[in-house]
Every structure is written in C-alpha cells, then in structure tokens.
Amino acid sequence: MMLKLIVISISLLSLMVLIPLAVEIAKPFIVGSIGSSSSISDSNNKISPLIESVNISTLSKNTTAVTTTRKAHNLPSTSQLPIHLYDTSSNTTALSIWGDIVPQWNRTTQYLDLFQYAKTVPSLPPLQTKQQTYDTFKRRQMVVIIHCGPKVGSTTLRAACRRNFRETCNIEKVYKRAPKGYFDMLELYPLIQSCNDTYHFCTKQTTWPLDVPSISDDLEYLHMFPFRNYDDWAKSALKQQFDRYGEKGCTKYKETFDQCKHTGMEIDFRQYGKTDLSRFKDSVLHRMNEMNERHHILLYLHRDLHDIISMLSSLYNIPMLPGSDGKGKARRPEGTCDESILQQYHDCFTENLMELT
C-alpha cells in the first residue's frame, strides 16, 4: 500500500512539472496564430501602407543607425497605388488610392473635393532608416521628380530646373526652353544618378523606365503631379493660343477641333494632369513591385507649388528648388478665343476624362 502511494505521488509531481513546460513550449505557436489572424484582418484595409521591414543589426564602432531590408510592395494593381494630398491652408496631409481618385476626378472637381474623401494621415512617408558611418559624406535619400504640364506652372518650373542644374550639377542650358532630360526620361535618368547634389528634377509627359537598373538601394522618389480644375485648365489653355497668335490662332484651333484632332499645344487632353498620372502609374508600379523601389506620389494644387517645395524641404531636410516662387506668365493680355471653340474641344475630348483608369 505504501509503495502504491509513493508511485502516485511521483506521478502527480511529474504532471505538475510537465504541464507548465508544455504550455511554455506551445506559447509561440498560440501567439503566432493570433498574430496571423490580425495580419489577415489588416490586409483587408482599403488603404494599405507600403510594406517595409527593418532588421536591427548588431551595431559596430562605425555604425550610427540600423540596416534596412526591403520587401517587395506587391501592390496587386494600379487601383491600389497610394496617392498623397497636401492642403497648405491647414497643413494637413491625406492619403487616398488611385482607384478612389479616378471616379471622383471629373471636369468640375476641385482639389479640396478629393482631399475631403481621403484619409487624414500624420505626414508624407518618412525616409527609410539606413546604415550610415561617421566618416561618409552625406548621401541623397530623397529626390523629387516634378511632373510638369501646360497651365500648371510649367514656365516657372522649367526656369527653376534649368537654374538648379546649372547651380548643382554644372549643366548649362541645352534646350532653349526646357532643362536637360525634360522630354525624355531615358535622358533624365542618368542625370538623377550622376548629379548627386541635385534634389529636384523636372519632366513632362514621361513614364518611368522599366528595364534600367536601380540607381541606389537607399534612394527614394517623390513624384509631384499638379492638380488644376479641368474646366479652368481648358479655358486657360485655349487663351494661351489667343495670347500667342490672336484670332488667327483661334481659327487654327477651330479647324483642328472640326476634325477632333489633338493640337499638340497647351489645350491638348493628353497633357492634362489626370491623363499624365494615368499614363505614368503602370511604369512606377512595375518598379515598385519588381525592383523594390520606393516611390511616393503627391497630387498637389498647382498654385501651391512654392509652399509644397518648402514643406518637402523641411520634412526631408533637402534644399529648396531655387526659383520655385517665380510667376511665369503672371501678366497676360485681355481677350480669348470664342466660347464656341472651347465647346468644340469639350465635345471632342472631355468625355474621355471619366474613361481614364
């Protein structure tokens, strides 16, 4: 009898030791399962943050920060492409996605209409933390690509970027009216790589090259696209032809719109901001997904250009763009083409605005 009691006691003691041990062993699996469930829930959010991971490495004598490892963004489509907006009147940043902006952006839409339907966020995305050493020179971590177009400050921007190239990269004027690489991204891309002291680059109606290697693993890109109300833009673009050629210019446009042909000048649907961004989005999504590059898109109100440049300078600790406060074409003569010519333009092209994807 005594022997049986001893055996039972030993068995009970073994269970008391083994049960807590089993719980401790199983705990990571239980927590991991809960974490996975949370991640699945988070992935259903409409606005998904760009996916990044940070590996904390062992700090050596020369290291002042951590090393960053990137994951592919894996955005399923351009409709999920994040688009940031910034309201200078309230110093507020908002985040939307292209798929939400496209149907809202019609001919009467104002900038604040898009802003109020976006999600308010603390700021634009911060720079990715990188490994640095005490004795290395300062490397660029952010470059700003300003996508220009007619009647949204392009005269000011062309002059500013020409001056910027001259002062930061010793590049003199190549084209009479535009900075080098303005019309050709394959020409501009090597300049982004070689002009290490240049933080702002201007381009027009270009797409990001698909097959050229990444410049640097730690270089990020902020693409600025201008917003201007469509009807207001069309009126200003038509007036430019009158300012330049008077009634003869108007007559030429009338003949062009009689055949519903593009003008190749300011009032050309292909040069409107929404059209430009729609054309650009596929190339940048490819670079984000396939090459793990970090690209951010900021849709800004065109007349707030200088304030936006100033905000970016403060946020990312980059120089100002000299001349961004210029007032190109601030003085314009009175008069414009007949209203019927503007209506011809709308009859030919404006319905395409809501067919952009």
Beta bridge partners of 172: none
Cα–Cα distance list, 69 to 56, 220, 265 (Å): 10, 14, 45
pLDDT of residue 17: 44
Identify whether 186 is part of a domain: yes
pLDDT single digits (tens) 13-28: 444 444 444 444 444 4
pLDDT of residue 30: 38
For residues 339 and 13, give the distance between their C-alpha atoms in angstroms, rounded to a whole number: 96
DSSP for residue 116: H
Please identify which residue in the block is written with the tokens 């333009």: 345
pLDDT single digits (tens) 253-307: 999 999 999 999 999 999 999 999 999 999 999 999 999 999 999 999 999 999 9
Number of residues in the chain:
357
Would you call 63 helix, strand, or coil by DSSP?
strand
Report whether pLDDT(341) > 80. Answer: yes
Query: How many domains, in total, are found in the chain?
Result: 1
Question: What's the chain's average pLDDT?
Answer: 81
pLDDT of residue 175: 59
Identify whether 84 is part of a domain: yes
Report angle CA 196, 153, 147 to the nearest 5 degrees: 45
Phi-psi region for residue 85, left (φ > 0), alpha (ψ -120 to 50) or beta? beta
Identify whether 304 is part of a domain: yes
pLDDT of residue 211: 87
pLDDT of residue 177: 79
pLDDT of residue 26: 44
Q: Write out the residue range of the structural domain in which residue 160 sits.
A: 76-127+138-229+268-334
pLDDT single digits (tens) 73-102: 688 899 999 999 999 999 999 999 999 999
Q: What burial letters (b/e) apply to 251-284, b meaning 16+ CB within 10 Å?
A: eebeebbeeeeebebbbbbebbbbbbbbebbebb
Confirm if 107 and 95 have CB atoms less than 8 A apart.
Answer: no
pLDDT of residue 139: 74
* Average pLDDT of span 28-33: 38
pLDDT of residue 351: 97
User: What's the pLDDT band for 218 if we cut at 50, 70, 90?
Assistant: confident
* Average pLDDT of span 235-247: 94
Would you call 185 helix, strand, or coil by DSSP?
helix
Identify whether 69 is part of a domain: no
Identify whether 87 is part of a domain: yes
Identify whether 40 is part of a domain: no
Report whether pLDDT(222) > 80. Answer: yes
User: Higher confidence at residue 167 or residue 9?
Assistant: 167
Report whether pLDDT(330) > 80. Answer: no
DSSP β-ladder status, 294-301 and 82-87: parallel
Identify whether 260 is part of a domain: no
Q: What is the pTM of this model?
A: 0.79
pLDDT single digits (tens) 176-203: 678 999 999 999 999 999 999 999 999 9
Identify whether 118 is part of a domain: yes
pLDDT single digits (tens) 97-152: 999 999 999 999 999 999 999 999 999 999 985 545 444 456 789 999 999 999 99
* Average pLDDT of span 31-59: 33
